[in-house]
């Protein structure tokens, strides 16, 4: 006999256009209820800051009892836009939002993985290769991420950096974060063969198949990980679509897999690569473009109306891209992004450390 307590339905949500519906429990966010019902709605940060889960409220009202919908402008809220990862239904709802059918049939699982390899990609980025401990098959799509499950219910999210069928491992690019206990552990203590528990695959930052529009892929820092997986996948599929990869970093040493990017460009006529350094030294400016990476994209392509755009990286880059790319003519429904937010406890530790710093 199951010991699970059944969810008490409080309201019902209907998806406009598809006819699908699902129940929402008391205090449950709309996104959590949709995921519990097996529906694949877009999401990324789960904190209300990136806007990936944005939908339009057709009927009904919502409240935000947890985090404010900071990714929504006042104009968007006035137009009925809602963030499903934070919105709680106050009655029955009808919502218009695009589903991500590609991930719908892939089960989310918890499993044990062994650390198969550790390799320092640069001074503050470690590559981890994880192998399912029982060598069991594992399905995911390029661009998805996994959660490493820690004690006391804590989680750490990392994008899977290799496309499916690029080896048996799940590859992660982990940046050392000041105040981040888990990343310190990865760098200083994690041993080969050690077992971790993960939940995966998660996220909807996956390539949309079909069409022949050129694709711009913009990464910031370790946001390169899911972009790498998507590019590998598209190359594997022998796509004829033009792919232009922009990678923004502080200095040249932070472009930790630049040789791979140049290899893509050399081996595939439809792939171009542009590195951009935000804190370039005078010497670096002689060889590399400098400034914010999204500004380099706009300088090269001031009219984005004929493109699909994928971007992954820190929240300020994502917010700048969302604002300026749409202003440059990119249709909102052809902009896909993954925001690399800190976990709440890590962010709190960073804030405490900065507040205590002298000056």
Q: Are residues 316 and 261 in the same domain?
A: yes
Q: For residues 336 and 77, what is the distance between their CA atoms, to the nearest angstrom? A: 20
Closest CA to 231 of 280, 166, 139: 166
Task: Encode pLDDT of 211-246 as tens digits.
Answer: 899 999 999 999 999 999 999 999 999 999 999 999
Predicted local confidence at residue 342, as pLDDT: 52
Where the chain has pLDDT below 50, the residues are 1-5, 344, 346-356, 359
Predicted local confidence at residue 4, as pLDDT: 46
> Strand, coil or helix: what is 10?
coil
Residue 4 lies in a domain: no
Q: Are residues 298 and 322 in the same domain?
A: yes
Domain count, the chain: 3
Contact status, residue 230 vs residue 143, Cβ threshold 8 Å: yes
Residue 43 lies in a domain: yes
Q: Are residues 222 and 332 in the same domain?
A: yes
Q: Are residues 335 and 219 in the same domain?
A: yes
Predicted local confidence at residue 180, as pLDDT: 76
Q: Are residues 193 and 94 in the same domain?
A: no
Phi, psi of 153 (to 5 degrees): 75, 5
Task: Encode pLDDT of 158-189 as tens digits.
Answer: 999 999 988 899 999 999 988 778 999 999 99
Does the bond joining 319 to the residue before it have cis omega, within 30 degrees of 0? Answer: no
Predicted local confidence at residue 200, as pLDDT: 95
The domain in which residue 16 lies consists of: 11-99
Residue 351 lies in a domain: no
Predicted local confidence at residue 1, as pLDDT: 37
CATH of the domain at 50: 3.10.20.30
Q: How many CB atoms lie within 10 A of CB 133?
A: 14
- Which of 99, 128, 158 is at the close of a domain? 99
Give the single-character DSSP code of 174.
Answer: E
Q: Record the tokens describing residue 161, joined without a space.
A: 């950096």
How many residues in the chain?
359
CATH of the domain at 224: 3.40.50.80
Residue 2 lies in a domain: no
Which distant-in-sequence residues (6+ apart) come within 8 Å of 305 by Cβ? Answer: 329, 330, 331
> Strand, coil or helix: what is 58?
strand
The CA-atom distances, in angstroms, between 332 and each of 104, 241, 335 are: 22, 20, 6
Predicted local confidence at residue 355, as pLDDT: 46
pTM metric for this prediction: 0.88
Q: Concatenate the DSSP letters of all residues of 94-145 into one string.
A: EEE----GGGTTS--EEEEEEEEEEEEEETTEEEEEEEETT-------TT-E
Q: Concatenate the DSSP letters of all residues of 260-278 into one string.
A: HHHHHHHH-TTEEEEEEET
* Burial of 210 per CB tally in 10 Å (0-12, 13-18, 19+): exposed
The CA-atom distances, in angstroms, between 348 and each of 44, 153, 345 are: 20, 17, 5
- Which of 99, 120, 139 is at the close of a domain? 99
- Which of 68, 99, 130 is at the close of a domain? 99
Q: Record the tokens describing residue 336, joined without a space.
A: 């896909």
Give the single-character DSSP code of 29.
Answer: B
CA dihedral (66, 68, 70, 73) positive or negative: positive
Q: For residues 271 and 262, what is the distance between their CA atoms, to the nearest angstrom? A: 9
Between strands 109-122 and 11-15, the pairing is: unpaired
Closest CA to 353 of 178, 156, 176: 178
């Amino acid at each position: 006999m199951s010991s699970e307590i059944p969810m008490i339905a409080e309201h019902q949500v209907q998806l406009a256009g598809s006819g699908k519906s699902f129940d929402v429990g008391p205090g449950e966010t709309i996104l959590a209820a949709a995921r519990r019902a097996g529906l694949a709605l877009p999401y990324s940060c789960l904190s209300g800051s990136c806007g990936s889960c944005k939908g339009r409220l057709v009927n009904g009202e919502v409240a935000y009892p947890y985090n404010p919908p900071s990714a929504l402008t006042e104009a968007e809220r006035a137009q009925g836009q809602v963030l499903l990862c934070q919105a709680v239904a106050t009655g029955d709802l009808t919502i218009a939002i695009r589903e991500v059918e590609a991930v719908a049939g892939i089960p989310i699982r918890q499993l044990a993985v062994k650390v198969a390899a550790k390799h320092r990609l640069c001074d503050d980025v470690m590559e981890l290769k994880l192998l399912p401990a029982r060598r069991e098959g594992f399905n995911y799509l390029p661009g998805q991420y996994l959660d490493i499950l820690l004690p006391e219910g804590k989680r750490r999210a990392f994008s899977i950096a290799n496309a499916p069928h690029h080896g048996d491992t799940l590859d992660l690019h982990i940046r050392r974060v000041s105040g981040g206990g888990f990343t310190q552990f990865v760098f200083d203590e994690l041993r080969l063969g050690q077992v971790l528990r993960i939940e995966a695959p998660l996220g909807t930052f996956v390539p949309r198949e079909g069409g022949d529009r050129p694709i711009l892929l913009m990464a910031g820092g370790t946001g390169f990980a899911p972009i790498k997986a998507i590019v590998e996948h598209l190359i594997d599929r022998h796509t004829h679509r033009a792919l232009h990869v922009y990678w923004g970093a502080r200095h040249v040493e932070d472009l930790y897999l630049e040789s791979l990017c140049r290899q893509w460009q050399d081996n595939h006529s439809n792939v171009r690569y542009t590195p951009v350094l935000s804190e370039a030294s005078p010497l670096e400016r002689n060889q590399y473009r400098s400034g914010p990476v999204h500004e380099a994209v706009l300088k090269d392509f001031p009219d984005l109306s004929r493109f699909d755009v994928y971007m992954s990286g820190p929240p300020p880059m994502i917010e700048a891209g969302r604002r300026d790319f749409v202003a440059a003519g990119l249709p909102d429904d052809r902009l896909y992004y993954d925001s690399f937010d800190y976990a709440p406890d890590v962010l709190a530790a960073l804030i405490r450390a900065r507040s205590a710093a002298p000056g």
